[in-house]
Amino acid sequence: QLAWINKHYQDKDWNIKAVMHLGDMTDTNDPSAWKMNDSAYAKYIDPLDLAYLPGTGNHDYFMCESNSSSVSTCNYSRGGTRVSSSGKFNNDRLKNRNWSYASFGTFKYTGNAYLTMTVSGIKFLLISLEFAPRKDTICWAEDIIDKHPDHKVIITTHAYLNSYADTEERTSSNKYTSG
């Protein structure tokens, strides 16, 4: 996907100005997968004058352990993302660009972040929210939107509502199994 963006971002049919990842950048939050993502962004996206916000999904928070039958039990851990383990997927990587960037929360990464940019004279506010955003995250996003009344707003998150039309509030007691 990143190679395709790199190849086509200036095509008149696409004219891509920003990229927002929707999460699950890894399958099980493994440091080697984050390094692979880091390399791909460094190769295909960083050289471009293209605003981007990587997003986190539930798989990016797993802390997995394998048992003797090669089945992994993965515990969801809100603060367990290893997204910055590569040393480059962090707030500094997204600063000092041709857009304004800021983040919220205790993550070393942009689990909750926004950027502002202007395209063809139109001001945009892009907000990326963590997987299953908590109430304080939603309040933060509302404050950011209120501070940018003259911007068009685009918000992404990996999951917000569950199948019962209720918010996806997850705790570290949730377990997922893969094998």
Round to whole Å and give the CA distance between 10 and 122: 18
Please report which helix (H) or strand (E) contains residue 146, including its range.
helix 135-146
In this prediction, residue 92 carries a pLDDT of 63
Nearest by Cα to 21 from 52, 46, 61: 52
pTM: 0.78
Could you read off the pLDDT of 119-154 as tens digits, one per residue? 999 999 999 888 888 788 889 899 999 999 999 999
* Coil, strand or helix at 73: strand
